[in-house]
Every structure is written in structure tokens, then in C-alpha cells.
Amino acid sequence: MQVITTICELKEHLKTLQGSIGLVPTMGALHKGHISLIEKSVKENDFTVVSVFVNPTQFLPNEDLDKYPRNEEGDKKVCELCKVDVLFMPLAKEMYFEDEPLIKAPAKIASILEGATRPGHFDGVLRVLNKFFNIVRPTRAYFGKKDAQQVAIVKNIVKTFFMPLEIVPCDIIREADGLALSSRNVYLDEEQKLSALKLSRSLLKAGNLIKSGEMDSNAIKLEMKKILEPLKVDYVAIVDREFREVSKVELENTIILVAAYVGNTRLIDNIWV
Ligand code: AMP
């Protein structure tokens, strides 16, 4: 595996590769969720590039950029074990220029839910991904459904900017107790981890209600909110795959999402039904 930190070196190395390239963009502190994306990419492509970059432009001024978990050595080991070809760990000063055109994520989809609480977040995500896509020119790029709104917004830019790559959404990986894996879970103590289970349990309840024939969004959201008590809930939402709110669940085209605070840690989770 090559560990590369400069764009110039990466471009030179990529020139020597013949075949399909899978890109897995991450912010590091790699866990089993990331590993599932990496394994899928390794299986589906001739070469896999994993990027580890804590992207400053997708954090709001009051967010956890400085204390975001970092584990460079661990990340190298994980990538090595997964048979990654290139681990790309660029420096922010190489990625960004003083004066550069900005991308604005479309308001309809990017100003709601995550975008309402984190205004500008998706602009930063698209800004860095546009760069990664141009540097790596991947055949496919792998994203977790855990960040469902991100998947929809990235698919949108690829389609509307006619970008020559395929976006591959990957299933959410959970702990045995249901907690969705997240780098931010390290902020939780044991008691908070138990409280955090309320998110996945509320979604399980939603799934069971739907299986029993309840399709009314308000009724489902009400039951979810009961389970989420007493957490501070940011949103419970039921949307279609284009992120339009729906009053009735339509099977194969619905996403049920929740965002809530456990202590100071903001967690998100969702199910696709
Ligand atoms: P992050 O490092 O948090 O930016 O995540 C990098 C990628 O891993 C994103 O596409 C996430 O959606 C994905 N990811 C994070 N956690 C999980 C998980 N529990 N299951 C599947 N994918 C995940």
C-alpha cells in the first residue's frame, strides 16, 4: 500500500494504474462502517483509494473540528489489512486555495434536516468531493447510507455536473445492540451509549409499525418520539429518496431519519424502507 500526502505524488502514482478505481472518502478514525465501504470497493474495482481528510470546510465554526477523533496509525493498519492500494492523507493547505470558486449545494435538499442545523455543511462536503473526484478520477465512489442526505446531494452533483463516476450507496453497519457505528461514538460514555440506543430503537419501532401496515408518517413519527424521550431531538423525518417529506410511507422509496443529542454529542441514524 502507498501512503501518499501530496496531490502531485498521488497524480503521478495514479498514472501508473491501469483499470477501475474505487474511491472511499473518509475523515479517518476508521471503524467497521468505513471498512464495509472499503471492502466493497476492493471487491468491485481493480484499485482502491481511501482518502483520510478531516475537511475543515464542512464543519461549522461552533463544531468539533479541533477535537474530531484522529487515528493516523490505526487508519494505516486498517487500510493495509483491507488491501487498499493507496491511502491518501492530504494537508488542508494543499487542498484549498485562497481564491477559488465555491459550490452551493441545492437549497431544496441541502437546507433541510442536516442542512437546517448545519447551514453550509453540504457546501463544504461538495467542495472537497469535487476536488477528490478531479484528483482521483474514480470509476466509483462509495458512501454510507448512514449519511443519507449526503448520498442524495452527492448523487445530485454527479448527475447535474455530468461527472463521469458512479456513486455507490452502502448499508449502515451497526453494533450488535443496534447503535450505528460513527467516529463520534468515542465521545459517548457507557451510560450515554445506552441512551444512544434510543435512536436505533425508534427506527426499529418505525420499521415494525410499517410491517404491521401503519403507513401514516405522523403516526409513525409520534411513536418514534415517545421512544426518543427524554433526548433532545433535532428532527424525526420521513422523506422519499429525493428527500421530499411524505405523509405516507411508500415501500422501496422512503427513508426514515432521526437526529438527536446524547449529552453534547449529536447523533444521526436512519432506515431505508
Ligand atoms: P466519515 O468518516 O464520518 O466522513 O464517513 C466516511 C464514510 O463512511 C461516509 O460515506 C459515511 O456515510 C460512511 N459511514 C460512516 N459510518 C458508517 C456506518 N456505520 N455504516 C456505513 N457507512 C458509514
182 labelled as ligand-binding?
A: yes
pLDDT digits (tens, 9 = 90+) for 142-184: 999 999 999 999 999 999 999 999 999 999 999 999 999 999 9
> CATH code for 183-268?
3.30.1300.10
Domains 2-170 and 183-268 share a fold: no
**Which residue, among 72, 86, 81, has the nearest Cα to 30 in the 3D structure?**
72
Whether this prediction's pTM lies above 0.95 is answered by: yes
Residue 38: predicted pLDDT: 99
Q: Which amino acid is at 97?
A: F
Ranges of each domain in the chain: 2-170, 183-268
Atom 18 in ligand 1: residue holding the nearest Cα: 33
Cβ neighbors of 136 (< 8 A, separation 6 or more) are: 10, 14, 21, 23, 49, 51, 88
- Look up the CATH number of domain 2-170: 3.40.50.620
The percentage of residues in the chain with a pLDDT greater than 90, rounded to a whole number, is: 100
Span 179-230, pLDDT tens digits: 999 999 999 999 999 999 999 999 999 999 999 999 999 999 999 999 999 9
Q: What CA–CA distance (Å, rounded) separates 185 from 197?
A: 11
Q: Is 182 in the pocket of ligand 1 (CB under 6 A)?
A: yes
The cell for 55 is 475537511
Mutate to test the pocket of ligand 1, among 40, 58, 147 (most ligand atoms within 8 A of CB): 147
